[in-house]
Structure 1
């Protein structure tokens, strides 16, 4: 009973961390009379650096009864656990995530992100040999209908650029998650991939001319997003994944857009519209139908 309560609480913390990333990013990047607290590139830079540092500390602190490696050997293990293809996907996700939230509300952004993640994973599963049943096809059709409804130009829709960027971020995170199914030490692999994104960020800085616009408040919001919600949140999530099936984990992630929407209402004074509720129900309900179909 104690173990179940601990698992439930840890899972809830991880999902809250995922939703909090959306809230923190939106708070940092929303435009007001004085401008944004931080620009998207700077937010991504601080987020990934602080996340890499937090994850590296966790790797150095983490030990099990079979692990007797010294620090230099452990650092080598950490580096070798990741790869450049996963790091590139992580980089595209993080950068697209930041730029998309310049123009998207918190809940809409999270909906697009996690909807795209789930659909990407479904399509990758299909490409790799899984043949979908009629219930899965029905769910996929419902989910895509929700996306179409979300972006119809005659309704109160999100920015087209923001939608494309967040959908791209979701596809990248879906690919990154798919790659993660093959790793044996998820924490080490995530740390290595975070570190590998830093050279890619330097390339991005060249394109923006190293013109960084950072306030102290924006900096700490990015640190909180990177070190706590990404670093600690991912570590907690990987710990609880060992105790649940992949389908259960996927269904649980569907709670994130709902949590992010509630957070946006509480912390960013955003409104919940009927349009967003209907789109959310279609996208998340469609993905849930697919997952039910996979289990059957």
Structure 2
């Protein structure tokens, strides 16, 4: 039950990232490049302060941290730039669809193939996302935006896979954010930059709380989840973000969203329960 609650909290934090990002960038409070830099820099500061108060040390100079920071930078940069041209719902569908496919493929290639029940659960959950997020025929998808969001999904999938071997989640995440900051800052060299006090505050909240602390908690939970399960549960994030957008940003919610929510959560439940069902038969 404890792992379930912690995982749910992480998914809420991930969804909050989407809500905060949409509010800041779509509201014209800050540019995507500036938001990305504020987000990752404030996350690094928050995590390093907590780590120092705990008496620990930031883990920077090792191969795993470099890979973790690189994949985190790919995700943040791709995510930020893709939303310059992509519809929000389509972007979320591409992102988490790619995450699921990449993590399932990695598991199958390295001998941790998902069970049939997990695959069915993932398919049901993904069908719910398609129902609620698939654009109309009139919507044109920008090819560059789609490629950037695919790159973001691959980056986040790789970051998640790397995190399964984390021995010290807080130190590892702090190191990832610290190294990632100058990588993301390069984005400011090629994008127009502007900001407002509201945009900066939202960026700091997104970076320090829902990203920094959220990712550290995710690294702590990951070793206790099967890789295929970690892939499927993340499909709940777009649905949570839609519901939060309705409550916080007054976005409309129709019957299609309700049906899709049932499909996504039902599929996740089926996939997550596969492990316990298998254990009960052994």
Q: Structure 1-normalised TM-score? A: 0.75
Name the residue aligned to 2:225. 245
Given the superposition, is the C-alpha separation of residues 43 and 152 from structure 1 closer, same or farther in structure 2, using an over 3 Å criterion? closer
3-state SS of the aligned residue for 1:270?
coil
Counterpart among 22, 28, 45 of residue 26 in structure 1: 22
Does residue 166 (structure 1) correspond to residue 149 (structure 2)? The answer is yes
Aligned positions, number: 275
The structure with the largest alpha-carbon Rg is 1
1:183 corresponds to which of 142, 162, 166? 166
In 2: Cα distance, 1:228 partner to 1:147 partner: 26
Structure 2 residue runs without a partner (length 5+):
none
Matching residue within 93, 102, 105 for 1:120: 102
Please give the alpha-carbon distance, in whole angstroms, between the structure 2 residues aligned to 1:14 and 1:21.
Answer: 11
User: Structure 1 residues 217-226 or 179-188, which shifts more?
Assistant: 179-188
TM-score by length of 2: 0.78
Q: Distance in 1 between matches of 2:147 and 2:18?
A: 16
Q: CA contact under 8 A between 1:26 and 1:102: conserved in structure 2?
A: no
Equivalent residue for 1:199, pick from 182, 194, 198: 182
Taking structure 1 as reference, are residues 276 and 9 closer, same or farther at Cα in structure 2, changes over 3 Å only?
A: closer
CA contact (8 A) 1:118 1:287 kept: no
In the alignment, is the contact (CA less than 8 A) between 1:110 and 1:260 conserved in 2?
Answer: no
- The corresponding residue for 1:130 is 112
Q: Distance in 2 between matches of 1:144 and 1:12?
A: 18
**Is contact 1:151-1:160 (8 Å) kept?**
no
Quote how far apart the aligned CAs of 1:145 are: 6.0
TM-aligned CA deviation for residue 61 of structure 1? 1.9
Cα drift, residue 87 of structure 1: 1.4
Q: Distance in 1 between the 2:255 and 2:143 partners?
A: 20
Q: Hey, what does 2:248 align to over in structure 1?
A: 267
CA RMSD of aligned residues (A): 3.6
- Where in structure 1 are there 5+ consecutive unaligned residues? 64-68
Q: Give, in whole Å, the separation in 2 of the partners of 1:92 and 1:139.
A: 28
Kept after mapping to 1: 8 A contact 2:95/2:149? yes
1:47 lines up with 2:44 in the alignment = no
Of the three residues 196, 203, 206, the one matched with 1:222 is 203
Mean Cα deviation higher: 215-224 or 155-164 = 155-164
Indicate yes or no: 2:33 matched with 1:62. Answer: no
Instruction: Give a deviation string over 1:28-79, Cα, whole Å, max 9, x none.
Output: 1115xxxx1111111101001001111111211225xxxxx7xxxx24x454
Secondary structure at the counterpart of residue 83 of structure 1: helix
